[in-house]
Amino acid sequence: MLEHDKPVTRAWVLHPELKSDHSRRAPVPALAEAVALAAALPDLDVLGADIVRLPKLHAGKLFGKGKIEELRIIFAEAEVELVLVDGSVTPVQQRNLEKAWGVKLLDRTGLILEIFSDRARTSEGVLQVEMAALSYQRTRLVRAWTHLERQRGGLGFVGGPGETQIEADRRAIDDQLVRLRRQLEKVGKTRALHRASRAKVPFPIVALVGYTNAGKSTLFNMLTGADVLAKDMLFATLDPTMRKITLPTGDEVIMSDTVGFISDLPTELVAAFRATLEEVLDADLILHIRDISHDQTEEQACDVMAILHKLGVAENAPLIEVWNKVDLLQGEAFEGRVNQAARTEDLFAVSALTGEGMAALLAAIPEKLKDPRSEALLTLSFAEGRKRAWLFEAGIVTDDQQTDEGYCMTVVWTALQQERFSRL
Protein backbone atom coordinates (compact mmCIF):
# COMPACT_ATOMS: atom_id res chain seq x y z
CA MET A 1 0.00 0.00 0.00
CA LEU A 2 1.36 3.42 -0.91
CA GLU A 3 1.98 5.82 1.97
CA HIS A 4 -0.68 8.30 0.81
CA ASP A 5 -3.20 5.44 0.61
CA LYS A 6 -2.87 4.57 4.30
CA PRO A 7 -6.22 4.48 6.10
CA VAL A 8 -6.85 7.33 8.53
CA THR A 9 -7.31 6.32 12.17
CA ARG A 10 -10.05 8.10 14.13
CA ALA A 11 -8.53 9.27 17.42
CA TRP A 12 -9.50 10.97 20.69
CA VAL A 13 -7.12 12.72 23.11
CA LEU A 14 -7.47 12.61 26.91
CA HIS A 15 -5.43 14.56 29.46
CA PRO A 16 -5.81 13.14 33.00
CA GLU A 17 -5.65 15.86 35.65
CA LEU A 18 -5.03 14.51 39.13
CA LYS A 19 -6.18 16.86 41.91
CA SER A 20 -3.11 16.11 44.03
CA ASP A 21 -0.71 16.69 41.13
CA HIS A 22 0.85 20.15 41.36
CA SER A 23 3.21 19.79 38.40
CA ARG A 24 4.13 22.71 36.16
CA ARG A 25 1.97 21.41 33.28
CA ALA A 26 -1.32 23.32 33.36
CA PRO A 27 -4.14 21.13 32.00
CA VAL A 28 -5.41 23.37 29.17
CA PRO A 29 -2.05 24.02 27.43
CA ALA A 30 -1.01 20.43 28.19
CA LEU A 31 -4.08 19.14 26.34
CA ALA A 32 -3.39 21.53 23.45
CA GLU A 33 0.17 20.18 23.20
CA ALA A 34 -1.12 16.59 23.25
CA VAL A 35 -3.52 17.41 20.39
CA ALA A 36 -0.62 19.01 18.49
CA LEU A 37 1.41 15.84 19.04
CA ALA A 38 -1.42 13.77 17.60
CA ALA A 39 -1.73 16.16 14.66
CA ALA A 40 1.95 15.53 13.90
CA LEU A 41 0.98 12.05 12.70
CA PRO A 42 -0.55 12.32 9.21
CA ASP A 43 -2.60 9.13 9.59
CA LEU A 44 -4.59 10.35 12.61
CA ASP A 45 -7.87 12.25 12.54
CA VAL A 46 -8.38 13.78 15.99
CA LEU A 47 -12.14 13.85 16.55
CA GLY A 48 -12.10 15.34 20.04
CA ALA A 49 -10.11 16.04 23.19
CA ASP A 50 -11.00 16.21 26.87
CA ILE A 51 -9.45 16.99 30.24
CA VAL A 52 -10.43 14.23 32.67
CA ARG A 53 -10.25 15.41 36.28
CA LEU A 54 -9.42 12.61 38.69
CA PRO A 55 -9.82 12.69 42.46
CA LYS A 56 -7.41 9.74 42.54
CA LEU A 57 -5.71 7.28 40.18
CA HIS A 58 -7.27 3.83 39.85
CA ALA A 59 -4.49 1.24 39.75
CA GLY A 60 -6.22 -1.16 37.38
CA LYS A 61 -8.06 1.14 34.98
CA LEU A 62 -6.69 4.67 35.60
CA PHE A 63 -10.24 6.13 35.54
CA GLY A 64 -13.29 5.32 37.67
CA LYS A 65 -16.15 3.08 36.47
CA GLY A 66 -18.52 5.97 35.77
CA LYS A 67 -15.99 7.92 33.71
CA ILE A 68 -14.98 4.80 31.77
CA GLU A 69 -18.61 4.11 30.85
CA GLU A 70 -19.23 7.76 29.94
CA LEU A 71 -16.20 7.78 27.64
CA ARG A 72 -17.14 4.38 26.18
CA ILE A 73 -20.45 5.82 24.96
CA ILE A 74 -18.70 8.87 23.46
CA PHE A 75 -16.10 6.74 21.70
CA ALA A 76 -18.73 4.33 20.35
CA GLU A 77 -20.89 7.14 18.95
CA ALA A 78 -17.87 8.80 17.31
CA GLU A 79 -16.51 5.44 16.08
CA VAL A 80 -13.17 6.15 17.73
CA GLU A 81 -10.42 3.63 16.94
CA LEU A 82 -7.52 5.02 18.99
CA VAL A 83 -7.41 6.82 22.34
CA LEU A 84 -4.33 8.89 23.21
CA VAL A 85 -3.76 9.44 26.93
CA ASP A 86 -1.49 12.40 27.68
CA GLY A 87 0.33 10.76 30.56
CA SER A 88 1.78 7.49 31.74
CA VAL A 89 -0.39 4.37 31.42
CA THR A 90 0.71 1.03 32.86
CA PRO A 91 0.43 -2.14 30.74
CA VAL A 92 -2.41 -3.40 32.97
CA GLN A 93 -4.32 -0.12 32.66
CA GLN A 94 -3.76 -0.13 28.90
CA ARG A 95 -5.10 -3.65 28.49
CA ASN A 96 -8.14 -3.02 30.69
CA LEU A 97 -9.08 0.27 29.02
CA GLU A 98 -8.70 -1.21 25.55
CA LYS A 99 -11.00 -4.05 26.54
CA ALA A 100 -13.56 -1.71 28.13
CA TRP A 101 -13.64 0.72 25.21
CA GLY A 102 -12.97 -1.63 22.30
CA VAL A 103 -10.18 0.63 20.97
CA LYS A 104 -6.41 0.77 20.79
CA LEU A 105 -4.68 3.01 23.32
CA LEU A 106 -1.39 4.91 23.39
CA ASP A 107 0.07 6.89 26.28
CA ARG A 108 2.25 9.99 25.88
CA THR A 109 5.47 8.03 25.54
CA GLY A 110 3.97 5.68 22.96
CA LEU A 111 2.68 8.61 20.91
CA ILE A 112 6.04 10.40 20.90
CA LEU A 113 7.75 7.15 19.88
CA GLU A 114 5.23 6.75 17.05
CA ILE A 115 5.98 10.28 15.81
CA PHE A 116 9.73 9.67 15.93
CA SER A 117 9.27 6.42 14.01
CA ASP A 118 7.26 8.22 11.35
CA ARG A 119 9.86 11.02 11.02
CA ALA A 120 13.15 9.09 11.19
CA ARG A 121 14.83 9.25 7.79
CA THR A 122 18.49 8.37 8.23
CA SER A 123 19.61 4.83 9.01
CA GLU A 124 20.94 6.07 12.35
CA GLY A 125 17.62 7.70 13.22
CA VAL A 126 15.69 4.54 12.37
CA LEU A 127 18.01 2.50 14.59
CA GLN A 128 17.64 4.91 17.49
CA VAL A 129 13.86 5.03 17.28
CA GLU A 130 13.51 1.26 17.00
CA MET A 131 15.80 0.78 19.99
CA ALA A 132 13.78 3.27 22.04
CA ALA A 133 10.48 1.66 21.04
CA LEU A 134 11.64 -1.85 21.89
CA SER A 135 13.03 -0.73 25.24
CA TYR A 136 9.71 0.92 26.06
CA GLN A 137 7.59 -1.98 24.90
CA ARG A 138 9.69 -4.71 26.54
CA THR A 139 7.18 -5.16 29.35
CA ARG A 140 4.10 -4.34 27.29
CA LEU A 141 3.14 -7.69 25.89
CA VAL A 142 -0.28 -6.58 24.71
CA ARG A 143 0.98 -5.27 21.38
CA ALA A 144 1.73 -6.88 18.06
CA TRP A 145 5.30 -6.32 16.93
CA THR A 146 4.21 -5.58 13.39
CA HIS A 147 6.91 -2.97 12.88
CA LEU A 148 9.51 -5.73 12.86
CA GLU A 149 8.08 -6.82 9.53
CA ARG A 150 8.19 -3.37 7.94
CA GLN A 151 10.81 -1.56 5.94
CA ARG A 152 9.85 1.92 7.22
CA GLY A 153 7.16 4.03 8.82
CA GLY A 154 5.15 3.68 12.09
CA LEU A 155 5.65 1.27 14.90
CA GLY A 156 2.50 -0.70 14.21
CA PHE A 157 0.28 0.85 16.88
CA VAL A 158 -1.92 2.61 14.34
CA GLY A 159 -3.62 0.29 11.86
CA GLY A 160 -1.71 -2.85 12.91
CA PRO A 161 -2.92 -6.27 11.73
CA GLY A 162 -3.53 -7.74 15.18
CA GLU A 163 -2.05 -9.62 18.13
CA THR A 164 0.73 -12.19 18.04
CA GLN A 165 1.75 -14.74 20.68
CA ILE A 166 3.43 -13.21 23.71
CA GLU A 167 6.33 -15.64 23.74
CA ALA A 168 7.08 -15.04 20.08
CA ASP A 169 6.95 -11.30 20.78
CA ARG A 170 9.38 -11.64 23.67
CA ARG A 171 11.89 -13.63 21.61
CA ALA A 172 11.62 -11.18 18.71
CA ILE A 173 12.16 -8.20 21.00
CA ASP A 174 15.17 -9.72 22.77
CA ASP A 175 16.82 -10.67 19.49
CA GLN A 176 16.23 -7.20 18.07
CA LEU A 177 17.52 -5.46 21.19
CA VAL A 178 20.79 -7.38 21.09
CA ARG A 179 21.28 -6.57 17.41
CA LEU A 180 20.34 -2.89 17.80
CA ARG A 181 22.59 -2.37 20.83
CA ARG A 182 25.56 -3.62 18.82
CA GLN A 183 24.70 -1.38 15.87
CA LEU A 184 24.18 1.66 18.09
CA GLU A 185 27.50 1.04 19.81
CA LYS A 186 29.11 1.27 16.38
CA VAL A 187 27.17 4.48 15.73
CA GLY A 188 28.45 5.94 19.00
CA LYS A 189 32.05 5.07 18.10
CA THR A 190 31.64 6.55 14.63
CA ARG A 191 30.22 9.78 16.03
CA ALA A 192 33.10 9.96 18.53
CA LEU A 193 35.57 9.66 15.65
CA HIS A 194 33.74 12.38 13.73
CA ARG A 195 33.82 14.66 16.75
CA ALA A 196 37.53 13.98 17.22
CA SER A 197 38.23 14.87 13.60
CA ARG A 198 36.14 18.04 13.88
CA ALA A 199 38.12 19.02 16.98
CA LYS A 200 41.15 19.38 14.72
CA VAL A 201 39.27 21.83 12.49
CA PRO A 202 39.64 25.40 13.78
CA PHE A 203 35.90 26.15 13.55
CA PRO A 204 33.87 26.44 16.74
CA ILE A 205 30.54 24.61 16.87
CA VAL A 206 27.33 26.49 17.72
CA ALA A 207 24.43 24.16 18.62
CA LEU A 208 20.79 25.22 18.43
CA VAL A 209 18.64 23.61 21.12
CA GLY A 210 15.12 24.28 22.30
CA TYR A 211 11.62 23.02 22.84
CA THR A 212 10.04 21.42 19.80
CA ASN A 213 8.42 23.97 17.47
CA ALA A 214 10.40 26.86 18.99
CA GLY A 215 11.66 27.81 15.52
CA LYS A 216 15.14 26.24 15.56
CA SER A 217 14.98 25.02 11.97
CA THR A 218 13.64 28.36 10.70
CA LEU A 219 16.50 30.14 12.45
CA PHE A 220 18.99 27.56 11.16
CA ASN A 221 17.75 28.06 7.59
CA MET A 222 18.00 31.84 7.88
CA LEU A 223 21.56 31.67 9.22
CA THR A 224 22.91 28.98 6.87
CA GLY A 225 20.75 29.18 3.76
CA ALA A 226 19.90 25.49 4.23
CA ASP A 227 16.51 23.98 3.39
CA VAL A 228 15.85 21.99 6.56
CA LEU A 229 12.13 21.26 6.92
CA ALA A 230 10.57 24.05 9.01
CA LYS A 231 6.87 23.66 9.73
CA ASP A 232 4.46 24.74 12.47
CA MET A 233 4.47 21.17 13.76
CA LEU A 234 5.94 19.33 16.73
CA PHE A 235 9.10 17.35 15.86
CA ALA A 236 9.12 18.54 12.23
CA THR A 237 12.79 17.51 12.03
CA LEU A 238 14.66 14.74 13.85
CA ASP A 239 18.01 14.25 12.18
CA PRO A 240 20.72 16.74 13.22
CA THR A 241 22.11 18.96 10.47
CA MET A 242 25.43 20.84 10.42
CA ARG A 243 26.52 23.71 8.16
CA LYS A 244 29.55 26.01 8.11
CA ILE A 245 28.71 29.71 7.94
CA THR A 246 30.65 32.96 7.89
CA LEU A 247 29.41 35.53 10.40
CA PRO A 248 29.26 39.26 9.50
CA THR A 249 32.44 39.70 11.57
CA GLY A 250 34.27 37.31 9.23
CA ASP A 251 34.44 34.54 11.83
CA GLU A 252 33.59 31.05 10.59
CA VAL A 253 31.55 28.66 12.72
CA ILE A 254 29.71 25.37 12.30
CA MET A 255 25.99 25.62 13.10
CA SER A 256 24.28 22.45 14.35
CA ASP A 257 20.48 22.02 14.37
CA THR A 258 19.31 19.36 16.85
CA VAL A 259 16.09 17.51 17.58
CA GLY A 260 13.55 19.48 19.63
CA PHE A 261 12.89 18.65 23.27
CA ILE A 262 9.54 18.25 24.99
CA SER A 263 8.25 17.89 28.53
CA ASP A 264 8.29 14.32 29.81
CA LEU A 265 10.58 13.29 26.95
CA PRO A 266 10.66 9.48 27.16
CA THR A 267 13.78 8.26 28.91
CA GLU A 268 14.04 5.55 26.25
CA LEU A 269 14.43 8.26 23.60
CA VAL A 270 17.04 10.17 25.58
CA ALA A 271 19.04 6.96 25.95
CA ALA A 272 18.70 5.91 22.31
CA PHE A 273 19.42 9.40 20.93
CA ARG A 274 22.32 10.00 23.30
CA ALA A 275 24.89 9.56 20.51
CA THR A 276 23.10 12.29 18.56
CA LEU A 277 22.36 14.57 21.49
CA GLU A 278 25.95 14.35 22.70
CA GLU A 279 26.81 16.67 19.81
CA VAL A 280 25.53 19.39 22.15
CA LEU A 281 28.13 18.41 24.76
CA ASP A 282 30.92 19.19 22.32
CA ALA A 283 29.46 22.52 21.17
CA ASP A 284 31.55 25.60 21.90
CA LEU A 285 28.37 27.63 22.28
CA ILE A 286 24.72 26.68 22.83
CA LEU A 287 21.88 28.84 21.50
CA HIS A 288 18.76 28.06 23.53
CA ILE A 289 15.89 28.97 21.20
CA ARG A 290 12.60 29.80 22.95
CA ASP A 291 9.16 30.49 21.51
CA ILE A 292 8.62 33.64 23.56
CA SER A 293 5.04 33.99 22.25
CA HIS A 294 3.97 30.68 23.80
CA ASP A 295 1.89 30.78 26.99
CA GLN A 296 4.08 28.09 28.56
CA THR A 297 7.45 29.51 27.45
CA GLU A 298 8.88 29.53 31.00
CA GLU A 299 7.87 25.91 31.61
CA GLN A 300 9.28 24.88 28.24
CA ALA A 301 12.59 26.58 29.03
CA CYS A 302 12.82 24.68 32.32
CA ASP A 303 12.17 21.38 30.51
CA VAL A 304 14.94 22.09 27.98
CA MET A 305 17.49 23.01 30.63
CA ALA A 306 16.58 19.91 32.67
CA ILE A 307 17.24 17.67 29.66
CA LEU A 308 20.52 19.46 28.87
CA HIS A 309 21.75 18.93 32.44
CA LYS A 310 20.59 15.30 32.27
CA LEU A 311 22.76 14.86 29.17
CA GLY A 312 25.74 16.26 31.06
CA VAL A 313 25.88 19.87 29.86
CA ALA A 314 27.67 21.85 32.57
CA GLU A 315 25.84 24.59 34.46
CA ASN A 316 28.43 27.14 33.33
CA ALA A 317 28.52 26.04 29.67
CA PRO A 318 28.63 29.02 27.25
CA LEU A 319 24.98 29.72 26.38
CA ILE A 320 22.95 32.46 24.72
CA GLU A 321 19.19 32.54 25.20
CA VAL A 322 17.26 33.51 22.07
CA TRP A 323 13.67 34.70 22.42
CA ASN A 324 12.25 33.80 19.03
CA LYS A 325 8.89 34.68 17.42
CA VAL A 326 8.70 38.25 18.76
CA ASP A 327 6.80 39.02 15.54
CA LEU A 328 3.83 37.22 17.12
CA LEU A 329 3.74 39.61 20.09
CA GLN A 330 1.67 42.78 20.09
CA GLY A 331 1.91 46.16 21.80
CA GLU A 332 3.15 46.18 25.39
CA ALA A 333 4.02 42.47 25.30
CA PHE A 334 6.35 43.09 22.36
CA GLU A 335 7.94 46.20 23.88
CA GLY A 336 8.38 44.50 27.26
CA ARG A 337 10.17 41.45 25.84
CA VAL A 338 12.42 43.48 23.54
CA ASN A 339 13.39 45.91 26.30
CA GLN A 340 14.04 43.08 28.77
CA ALA A 341 16.30 41.32 26.27
CA ALA A 342 18.19 44.56 25.58
CA ARG A 343 18.92 44.98 29.30
CA THR A 344 19.98 41.37 29.92
CA GLU A 345 23.36 39.86 29.11
CA ASP A 346 23.38 36.88 26.72
CA LEU A 347 19.71 37.36 25.88
CA PHE A 348 18.34 38.40 22.49
CA ALA A 349 14.80 38.92 21.19
CA VAL A 350 14.56 37.95 17.53
CA SER A 351 12.25 36.81 14.78
CA ALA A 352 13.72 34.06 12.61
CA LEU A 353 10.86 34.71 10.19
CA THR A 354 11.32 38.46 9.65
CA GLY A 355 14.99 38.78 10.63
CA GLU A 356 14.32 41.26 13.42
CA GLY A 357 17.07 41.28 16.05
CA MET A 358 19.31 38.92 14.07
CA ALA A 359 22.13 41.45 13.55
CA ALA A 360 22.67 41.86 17.28
CA LEU A 361 22.60 38.10 17.83
CA LEU A 362 25.13 37.43 15.06
CA ALA A 363 27.44 40.09 16.48
CA ALA A 364 27.26 38.51 19.94
CA ILE A 365 28.15 34.97 18.83
CA PRO A 366 31.88 35.57 18.10
CA GLU A 367 32.21 37.64 21.28
CA LYS A 368 30.74 34.81 23.34
CA LEU A 369 33.08 32.32 21.66
CA LYS A 370 36.07 34.34 22.88
CA ASP A 371 35.96 32.73 26.29
CA PRO A 372 38.46 33.95 28.89
CA ARG A 373 41.40 31.58 29.23
CA SER A 374 43.34 30.54 32.28
CA GLU A 375 46.70 28.84 32.74
CA ALA A 376 46.94 25.47 34.48
CA LEU A 377 49.74 23.04 35.35
CA LEU A 378 48.87 19.38 34.72
CA THR A 379 50.71 16.22 35.74
CA LEU A 380 49.94 13.16 33.62
CA SER A 381 51.25 9.62 33.98
CA PHE A 382 52.68 7.67 31.04
CA ALA A 383 49.41 5.68 30.96
CA GLU A 384 47.41 8.84 30.25
CA GLY A 385 48.59 9.17 26.65
CA ARG A 386 45.04 9.73 25.37
CA LYS A 387 44.60 12.79 27.56
CA ARG A 388 47.99 14.17 26.51
CA ALA A 389 47.15 13.67 22.83
CA TRP A 390 43.81 15.47 23.31
CA LEU A 391 45.57 18.49 24.82
CA PHE A 392 47.91 18.74 21.84
CA GLU A 393 45.06 18.29 19.36
CA ALA A 394 43.20 21.14 21.06
CA GLY A 395 46.28 23.34 20.60
CA ILE A 396 46.35 24.55 24.21
CA VAL A 397 49.75 23.19 25.39
CA THR A 398 52.36 25.90 26.03
CA ASP A 399 54.96 23.73 27.77
CA ASP A 400 55.58 19.97 28.00
CA GLN A 401 58.27 18.40 30.18
CA GLN A 402 58.90 14.67 30.64
CA THR A 403 59.55 13.47 34.19
CA ASP A 404 60.33 10.11 35.76
CA GLU A 405 56.61 9.55 36.46
CA GLY A 406 55.13 10.98 33.27
CA TYR A 407 54.61 14.47 31.89
CA CYS A 408 54.38 17.94 33.42
CA MET A 409 52.35 20.15 31.08
CA THR A 410 51.34 23.79 31.08
CA VAL A 411 48.08 24.56 29.27
CA VAL A 412 46.07 27.70 28.57
CA TRP A 413 42.42 26.77 28.17
CA THR A 414 38.83 27.89 28.45
CA ALA A 415 36.37 26.68 31.09
CA LEU A 416 34.65 24.58 28.42
CA GLN A 417 37.91 22.90 27.40
CA GLN A 418 38.68 22.21 31.05
CA GLU A 419 35.24 20.62 31.49
CA ARG A 420 35.72 18.46 28.36
CA PHE A 421 39.15 17.34 29.58
CA SER A 422 37.59 16.24 32.87
CA ARG A 423 35.28 13.87 30.94
CA LEU A 424 38.15 12.05 29.20
**Within a domain: 175:** no
pLDDT (0 to 100) of residue 231: 55
Residues 357 and 415 in one domain: no
**Within a domain: 145:** no
The larger pLDDT score, comparing residue 187 to residue 418, is at 418
Residues 344 and 410 in one domain: no
Is 215 flagged in the annotation as binding?
yes
Is 157 flagged in the annotation as binding?
no
**Within a domain: 181:** no
Predicted TM-score (pTM) of the model is 0.73
Residues 338 and 359 in one domain: yes
* 156 pLDDT more than 60: no
**Within a domain: 23:** yes
Give me the sign of the Cα torsion angle 313, 314, 315, 319: negative
Q: Supply the CATH number for residue 252's domain.
A: 3.40.50.300
Across the range 331-341, mean pLDDT stands at 91
CA distances in angstroms from 53 to 16, 29, 34, listed in the order given: 6, 15, 16
Is 216 flagged in the annotation as binding?
yes
Residue 147: which pLDDT band, with cuts at 50, 70 and 90? very low
* 291 pLDDT more than 90: yes
Residues 254 and 211 in one domain: yes
Residue 80 contacts residue 97 (beta carbons within 8 Å)? no
Mean pLDDT of all residues in the chain? 80
pLDDT, one tens digit per residue, over 48-79 is: 999 999 888 888 889 999 999 999 999 999 99
Last residue in a domain, options 369, 388, 412: 369
Picking from 20-29, 155-164, 191-200, which range would have the lowest pLDDT averaged per residue? 155-164
- CB neighbours of residue 232 within 10 Å: 9
Residues 229 and 361 in one domain: yes
How many domains, in total, are found in the chain?
3
pLDDT (0 to 100) of residue 145: 38
Picking from 130-139, 292-301, 337-346, which range would have the lowest pLDDT averaged per residue? 130-139
Residues 343 and 397 in one domain: no
Residues 326 and 410 in one domain: no
**Within a domain: 408:** yes
Residues 413 and 322 in one domain: no
**Cα separation, 131 vs 179, whole angstroms:** 10
Is 260 flagged in the annotation as binding?
yes
Count CA atoms within 13 Å of residue 4 on its CB side: 0
Is 326 flagged in the annotation as binding?
yes
**Within a domain: 159:** no
SS3 151: coil
Across the range 378-405, mean pLDDT stands at 89
Q: Supply the CATH number for residue 57's domain.
A: 3.40.50.11060
Is 257 flagged in the annotation as binding?
yes
Residue 119: which pLDDT band, with cuts at 50, 70 and 90? confident
Is 324 flagged in the annotation as binding?
yes
Is 249 flagged in the annotation as binding?
no
Across the range 395-423, mean pLDDT stands at 85
Residues 233 and 363 in one domain: yes
Is 306 flagged in the annotation as binding?
no
Is 217 flagged in the annotation as binding?
yes
**Within a domain: 69:** yes
Residues 64 and 210 in one domain: no
H/E stretch holding 196 reads helix 166-199
Picking from 152-161, 257-266, 272-281, which range would have the lowest pLDDT averaged per residue? 152-161
**Within a domain: 241:** yes
Residues 242 and 338 in one domain: yes
Last residue in a domain, options 63, 96, 115: 115
**Cα separation, 286 vs 176, whole angstroms:** 35
Is 96 flagged in the annotation as binding?
no
* 191 pLDDT more than 70: no
Is 354 flagged in the annotation as binding?
no
Is 235 flagged in the annotation as binding?
yes
Is 214 flagged in the annotation as binding?
yes
pLDDT (0 to 100) of residue 160: 47
Residues 213 and 309 in one domain: yes
Residue 165: which pLDDT band, with cuts at 50, 70 and 90? low
Domain that holds residue 301: 202-369
Last residue in a domain, options 51, 80, 115: 115
